[in-house]
Amino acid sequence: MKIEKLIPDNSADTGEDHFSSTAQTPLRADAFVQNDDEKILIIQEHIKAILETLGMDLNDDSLKGTPLRVAKMFVTETFRGLHPERKPKASTFKNSYKYGEMLVEKNITLYSTCEHHLLPIVGKAHVAYVSNGSVVGLSKMNRIVEYYAKRPQVQERLTLQIVQELQKVLGTPDVACVIDAKHLCVNSRGISDVSSSTVTSEFGGVFQTEEKKREFLDYIKLDTDFNE
């Protein structure tokens, strides 16, 4: 049987590079025509075909439920942030106590997926803003990070999306984000460099000044381990 080559010749060269022309996640216009249940059924069959192509015996008790488990995980967990209906409601409140310094939410645990190899990205996000009259609930900052992380991602895009969403919610450009994460596509395959991590940042508004940028970065370095 003839197997046609489906992958462009230059794909191996560009697969590691983080090319992106926009901060928006690339989605087709018909991305949400099918509901979750329909997508799970379709993905289940694709996962089954992949495992069978690899030579796995799906009649084995350990494997027979894997296609459905993976399909459910993709739709309802790993890539749940693709659907706009799952965007967290980020209500704002009047800054009645007139707090005028930056607010920093640091060490937000982040689990995402590299869109080039569909391998995990694991790290920490640090987010800050300066109120222009409105504040947002602390947990909502975590939820915004999680929402944009739960999709096939590029770390640079994820950093931009977090900042742009908070700028829109708070009505201010004065938002910053730093992400430090490990990419298993680097750590567990290819070069297999287990010690390296990737750091990205986006500084908006007043955070573009050296003074505010340094203040934010100094906050990140504070020892705030309360587990001892």
Shared-domain flag, residues 101 and 65: no
Residue 2 placed within a domain: no
Final residue in a domain of this structure, among 78, 101, 132: 78
pLDDT band at 14 (very low <50, low <70, confident <90, very high): low
Residue 19 placed within a domain: no
Q: Given 16, 117, 156, 167, which residue is catalytic?
A: 117
Shared-domain flag, residues 60 and 126: no
Shared-domain flag, residues 72 and 141: no
- Which pLDDT value is given to residue 41? 98
Q: Given 44, 153, 155, 161, which residue is catalytic?
A: 155
Shared-domain flag, residues 167 and 62: no
Angle between helices 155-170 and 138-149 (to 10 degrees): 140
- Which pLDDT value is given to residue 1? 46
Q: What is the mean pLDDT of the chain?
A: 90
Indicate the number of domains in the chain: 2
Domain that holds residue 150: 92-221
- Which pLDDT value is given to residue 8? 54
| CATH code at position 72 | 1.10.286.10
Shared-domain flag, residues 156 and 191: yes
Shared-domain flag, residues 124 and 184: yes
Q: Given 44, 153, 177, 183, which residue is catalytic?
A: 183
Q: Given 114, 165, 177, 202, which residue is catalytic?
A: 114
- Which pLDDT value is given to residue 34? 97
Shared-domain flag, residues 115 and 69: no
Reply yes or no on whether 215 is catalytic: no
pLDDT of 127 higher than 90: yes
Shared-domain flag, residues 71 and 124: no
pLDDT of 61 higher than 90: yes
Final residue in a domain of this structure, among 50, 78, 106: 78
Compute how many other C-beta atoms are within 10 angstroms of the C-beta atom of residue 186: 20
Report, as an integer, the average pLDDT of 96-118: 94
List phi, psi (to 5°) of 178. -125, 135
Shared-domain flag, residues 71 and 98: no
Please give the share of the chain, as a percent, with pLDDT higher than 90. 77
Reply yes or no on whether 153 is catalytic: no
Closest CA to 115 of 59, 46, 185, 45: 185
- Where do the DSSP E strands lie in the chain? 92-94, 102-114, 120-130, 134-136, 152-153, 175-183, 198-203
- Which pLDDT value is given to residue 20? 55
Q: What is the pLDDT of residues 22-33, one digit of tens each?
A: 789 999 999 999
pTM of the model: 0.89
Residue 72 placed within a domain: yes
Shared-domain flag, residues 50 and 100: no
Reply yes or no on whether 155 is catalytic: yes
Final residue in a domain of this structure, among 43, 78, 113: 78
Q: Given 16, 116, 156, 167, which residue is catalytic?
A: 116
Q: Given 105, 126, 177, 185, which residue is catalytic?
A: 185
Shared-domain flag, residues 207 and 112: yes
Report, as an integer, the average pLDDT of 37-63: 98
Quote the tokens at residue 68: 């459905």
Residue 47 placed within a domain: yes
Reply yes or no on whether 177 is catalytic: no
Shared-domain flag, residues 58 and 130: no
Quote the tokens at residue 113: 């997926």
Reply yes or no on whether 185 is catalytic: yes
- Which pLDDT value is given to residue 6? 52
| CATH code at position 213 | 3.30.1130.10
Question: What is the sign of the dihedral through the CA atoms of 113, 116, 118 and 121?
Answer: negative
